[in-house]
Chains A and B, each alone.
Chain A
């Protein structure tokens, strides 16, 4: 179980982690209707690590990465990314954080339908305050090349296959050179082979670029590409060896 003690042990073992989640709880509603989606969760991840978060539907895994990525604020507990306390940030600060330090790959890719693959990357590049158009254009072309999408760069999502769309979403997540990449069910809309290919690609990008990645998945076969495995069930987070299916699967 990744309790305080487990998180602290990780820190002691490897130095200061880039991401630290301590005793985070998220409760929706109040009184009798209150539902705790995440209860007292703690974890820490170091730079260059790719972590998987396993759990059945409704277990709280998406809520947890949404809090880590600044999409939601925790009811209690703290989240630190590098030197920034994500859990203390205002909405405006969270918007900047998401634009500059976090890259998201959502379920079913979620690209802007009227922008080409290249424009989907360039748009997120234009979000940070000090963006440089020339640098962004070069980086978008490089990323699309690395992801094997050079010849598909000027196609809108409708003209791309599921795997290509997912690769564009990965490119978009990497576009602003974020510290943290959060990936939610990247294989949900893909067949096994393609799903494996996408996760391999993600793992490679995270490692090569020295980023920190968290992948939410319910597919146990994908954990072999990750450095740490966490399981979440009914909002309770535990550390796992990744060899046994989590409860509820």
Chain B
């Protein structure tokens, strides 16, 4: 006989209100986590999902790909470093373009399709393999449509749709290096040479990316090597955005745990007479503790289900301008963490139950 669920059935309002309160808090945790994840992904996706293990910048770049300038001849030097399987140049700039949504900024990336540094996250179509073909992560773009670079009016035919490949939360297009160079030359014909911003490196199987990054920096003067996670973390603004959201999510998480913990503690204190009676009639402490665990679990399950529906609705209804989707791993991880920490908070109640002296039911003390 499950006394915990029976009590919940008889006290629908009390447990319903708690479930709604917890649902709102879980909703906040999930919503903020999803938004921060999407925001960071839109800032870093181009680097994070790059088909490479190591990125090489110029030493003067101060950890920023946009501040890095490398002579294209460095690519061959990097390729010769032990542990490097493939090295390909990457160039990037921000330009204006005619996009499906109208005129706007575009992050343009040039890469060598035959070497390291191709974009990841291909959702549809293929990567560019000829001049003026492009794969894009741009809202509303479709295969076969055209993106026009401005003011040069160079048309780029969309042959691939990417996901999670944006840079600096801007629409992003990937072309091969010759197309990239042609675009730059068209707007600035007198440029003596077009530098690379980075060299993408794929390491040999079994090689440690961090070690290879260090070896490149030693072997090729004026360069610094970064593992991909390192390069992502050093993108300007990422760590502060990540920290800010982390604090918000953390605070909400802690508040939801405290609410659950205190609610069940109050409930336990209110039910001390009942628990004492049950102990006196032969219910073990473990059995009563289990009833608290069952109730916490039930509240977390109901609240999480409501929270997921709320987040789903909110994401569908809200237009944030960046691609946002609910990650099942995030949902499961968050719900599991809320449940686990709620159980830990439930220990306060269980401690009270453990301290019950069944003799007080008879009034013997």
Contact = CB atoms under 8 A, between A and B. Distances in A.
Interface in B1-54: 1, 3, 6-7, 10-11
A122 B282 contact: no
B364 A115 contact: no
A102 B362 CA distance: 13
Contact of B277 (A62, A66, A110): A110
A119 B6 contact: yes
Contacts, number: 82
Interface stretch (A90-98, A144-152, A222-230): A90-98
Most buried by A among B1, B273, B359, B364: B364
B249 to A, nearest CB: 36
Contact of A98 (B273, B280, B363, B364): B280
B195 interface: no
Interface in A78-125: 92, 95-100, 102, 104, 106-107, 110-115, 119, 122-125
A135 to B, nearest CB: 13
A208 to B, nearest CB: 22
A126 B1 contact: yes
A11 interface: no
A37 to B, nearest CB: 8
Given A62-B363, A119-B6, A106 B278 contact: no
Contacts of A96: 282
Contact of A115 (B3, B284, B363): B3
B337 to A, nearest CB: 31
Given A62-B364, A71-B361, A106 B3 contact: no
A98 B281 contact: yes
B135 to A, nearest CB: 62
Contacts of A206: none
Contacts of A21: none
Contacts of A128: 282
A63 B274 CA distance: 20
Contact of A119 (B1, B277, B358): B1
B363 A107 contact: yes
B309 interface: no
Interface string A160-176: 00000000000010000
A127 B280 contact: no
A114 B364 contact: no
B283 A106 contact: no
Interface string A46-82: 0000000000000000110110010110000000000
Contacts of B274: 112-113
A233 B35 CA distance: 73
A72 B280 CA distance: 10
B6 A115 contact: yes
B10 A106 contact: no
Given A62-B363, A112-B274, A123-B3, A71 B358 contact: yes
B362 A71 contact: yes
Interface string A204-237: 0000000000000000000000000000000000
A126 B290 CA distance: 14
A156 interface: yes
Interface string B251-282: 00000000000000000000001100111111
A97 B274 CA distance: 19
A106 to B, nearest CB: 6
A111 B1 CA distance: 16
B335 to A, nearest CB: 27
Contacts of A98: 280-282, 358
A72 B1 CA distance: 27
A184 interface: yes
B359 A95 contact: no
A114 B280 contact: no
B282 A95 contact: yes
Nearest to A64: B364
Contacts of A113: 274
A62 B10 CA distance: 33
B362 A112 contact: no
Contacts of B362: 62, 65-66, 69, 71, 104, 106-107, 184
A28 B359 CA distance: 13
Nearest to A95: B284
Contacts of A125: 1
A3 B234 CA distance: 87
B282 A71 contact: no
Contacts of B1: 119, 122-123, 125-126, 133
A122 B3 CA distance: 10
A79 B181 CA distance: 98
Given A71-B364, A104-B280, A127-B283, 14 more contacts: A62-B363, A65-B362, A69-B362, A72-B359, A72-B364, A92-B284, A99-B282, A106-B280, A107-B362, A114-B10, A123-B1, A156-B10, A172-B281, A184-B363
24 contacts: A63-B364, A66-B364, A71-B361, A72-B364, A95-B284, A95-B358, A98-B281, A98-B282, A98-B358, A99-B283, A102-B282, A104-B281, A106-B280, A110-B361, A112-B274, A112-B278, A113-B274, A114-B7, A114-B10, A115-B3, A125-B1, A126-B1, A128-B282, A133-B1
Q: Nearest 5 pairs between A and B by C-beta?
A: A99-B282, A66-B364, A98-B282, A71-B359, A114-B10
Interface of A: 28, 62-63, 65-66, 69, 71-72, 92, 95-100, 102, 104, 106-107, 110-115, 119, 122-128, 133, 156, 172, 184
